[in-house]
Amino acid sequence: MPDKTAASGGPEILIGANNIARFLGATPRQVWHWCEKGHLPHFHIGKRLCARPETLRRWLEEQEQ
């Protein structure tokens, strides 16, 4: 399933641990671990792991605090 594209040209939804990991500069295994521990903001569509880039950006800013 391809990523939805926002008007800005970037993806509106990152679908799959690989895409989320690429966005964060992490490995898919790290993404799954953070999700399982409740640290990474995410949601599921069916069995697919998903996240919104803007939510992940806010999360990263909070981690910097």
pLDDT band at 11 (very low <50, low <70, confident <90, very high): confident
Q: Is the dihedral of CA 27, 49, 55, 64 positive or negative?
A: negative
Asked if 57 contacts 11 with a C-beta cutoff of 8 angstroms, the reply is: no
Q: What is the pLDDT of residues 23-42, one digit of tens each?
A: 999 999 999 999 999 999 99
Question: Quick check: 51 and 42 in contact, CB under 8 A?
Answer: yes
Domain boundaries, given as residue ranges, for the chain:
9-51
| Token pair of 65 as six digits | 């605090």
Answer whether residue 60 shows pLDDT above 90.
yes
Show the tokens assigned to 22: 């690429």
Average pLDDT for residues 43-53, to the nearest whole number? 97
pTM, to two decimals: 0.81
